[in-house]
Structure 1
Amino acid sequence: MFKFCCVDWEMTIRVTVCLCTFRRPALSNALQSLVNQIIPDGVTMDVVVADNDPHESGRPIVESYAKEGSLPITYVVAHEPGVASARNCSVANARGEWLAFIDDDEEADVDWVQALLKCAEAHQASVVIGPVIACYPSEAPSWIVNGDFFGKRVPASGTQLGTGATCNALVRKDALPDQLCPFSLEFNTTGGEDTEMFSQMVSAGHRIVSCQEARVTETVEPHRLNEDFLLRKARRVGETYARIFISPKGIALQTIDIVRACIQTLVASVISLMLHPLGMEKSMHYKIKAYANLGKLLHMMKRNPIELYKG
C-alpha cells in the first residue's frame, strides 16, 4: 500500500529550496536561476543555503542576492563537515511543507518548481525526481561529451521509482523519515545519503515518481572530466548499493548478490575490452558497469570506501 500525498492543493503551498554549498563560485548561478523562477498562484517560495565551509565563503554571494529582496533567502553555516550534515542543516532550517533540492553547481529552468509541484499533484507523490542536463566546457574530451557520462536522465513523467537523488528533487517534508535529520551521517564523506533516505521512504510506503519536465542544468567542473573520476564515482555507487541493499540481507541472499556481482564485473570488463578499439565512449559505459559491481564486492570485503566528500 502506498501513502498518498494528502495535500490540500487549494490552500497556499510553501516550497523551501534546500541548497548546500562548499566553496563554489557557481553558487551565484544557482541562486540566480531560483530568483528567475516563475512561481504559480497559490505558491510561495524561499531558499535555505547551508554552507559547509567554516570560513563562510558562500556568505557574500548569498547576501548579495538576499539584499535584492525579490526572494527570501536564509543563510546558515553547517559546522560539522560532510554532505549529510549540510543537507540536514538545510532541512532543519526549512519552513516549507515541500522541500526542493538542487546542487550548488546547477541551474534550474524557470518553470522547475512549477513542474515539480504539478507532477506531485498529478501523481499523488511524496517525492518527485527530475533530470540533470550536463553542460560540458569546451575542453571536455569528445568521448565524455558524446557518451554524456555526467547527465542524469529519468524515465517518462509519472514513472514510479525505487529511490532518488537530491540533485533535482521535490519532497513532502512530513514524509521524511526524520524531519530534522533525515540524512544519515554515516554517509558524510562518501555520499549516498540521499539514496538511503529515499529507499527508506519507499519502504515506508511513499511514492516516488519521475518528472522529465522539471529540468536542471549542471556545468561539469574541469577536474571531473577524466576516466579516473568516473571510475571512482562508479565504484562509490556500487559501494552505496551494497551498503544499503545487500548488507542488510541474510547470508544466503548476500551470497547470491555477491556471485551475481562477480559475474557482472567479469562480463562488463570483457565487453569493455572488446569495445575499446571502437573508442572510449562505447568502452567506458561497460567499464563503469564493471567498477560499479566491483564496488559492491569491495564493500562486502570491508575495504575502505571511496570518500568523494572528504576534505
Structure 2
Amino acid sequence: MRAVAYSRFGGPEVLEVVDLPVPKVGADSVLIRVQATSVNPVDRVIREGHLDGLMDTVFPVVPGWDVAGVVERLGLDTPELAVGDEVIGYVRKDAVIGGTAAELVSAPVRTLARKPASLSWEEAAGLPLAGLTAYQSLRRLGVTSGDTVLIHNATGGVGSFAVQIAKAFGARVIGTASPARHDYVRGLGGEPVPYGDGMVHAVRALAPQGVDVVLDLIGGGVVATTPDVATSAVRLGSVADAAVAEHGGTYLWVRPDSGDLAELGRLADSGALRVEVARVFPLEETAAAHELSASGHVQGKVVIRVG
C-alpha cells in the first residue's frame, strides 16, 4: 500500500511516499481504507521526537491520528461494525506506529464512530482529534448552560470547535483572536476580543463580573491573566501549558472515545457543529501540509486526501 512515512526524527523533509505492507488486524480492530486524514500540531511534535520519552516509536513511522474511511476487513471481535461502514476515528495507539497517512490503517474499534452523514470525507477527517480535544476539555471543566466561557485562540483547529460546542452546551463564549479573524469568531457564535495588552480590558467590558471558565488553547503564559478576567470560582484548564496547575487549573489531554466521537457526529448532523477546512493536499504533498499546519497562518483544518 502507499503511505507517507519517516525513518528518522526531523522536519517535514523526512517525510516520503513509500510502499508498505498492508497492516495486520488485531482481534478488536478493523482495517480501514482511508479516504482522508488531517494534520494536527501533535504530528510535528511526534515527528521531531518530542514524545519519544513518553511513547515507544516504531520506525518507519506513518504520521497521522485522524481518519475518515470505509471498513474493509473485520477483526475477530468487532460486532460494532460491518464491512462497508463509513467511519471516523482518532486512531491513537499505545505506541507511535501505524498512522493514518496511508491507503489502509488498522484501527481499534474503541477509537472509531460512524461518519456523520452531513460531512464530506475531508470535513469528517478534520473532526476527530481537534473535536475530541475541545469536547472533552469543556466537559472536564464542567461547562453548562449559563456559564460564560473565555477561549484563548478561538480560531485555531481546537478553538473553532470549542466555541461551537460551548454554545451547544448553552454557554456564552468570548474568544481571543487577531482582529482580522473577529468576524470568523462571530460566525462561530462567539464574542471576539483581541490578544495582548487590550485583552483584559476587552473581556471585562463584555463580562464585568468575570468569566466562569477559561480554556487555554495557545500557551505562552496566558493562564497568568486568569485572575484579571475571571470570577473567584473560575474553572481553568489548558491543553498548551502544563504550568496551569500552578494557577489552580487543570492540564488537559485527549483520549480516544467512540461515545464522545459519536456525540460530535450528532452535533455535526444537527447543524450545531461545522468543520472549517482550510486546505486539502494530496497524499504526495504531505510534507507541504505539515509545513502549512506549523506556520500558524491557517484558519481551519489542514486535510490530506488519500482515497
Q: Please give the TM-score of this superposition, normalised by the length of structure 1.
A: 0.25
Query: Which structure has the highest helix share of the two?
Result: 1
Q: Please give the TM-score of this superposition, normalised by the length of structure 2.
A: 0.25
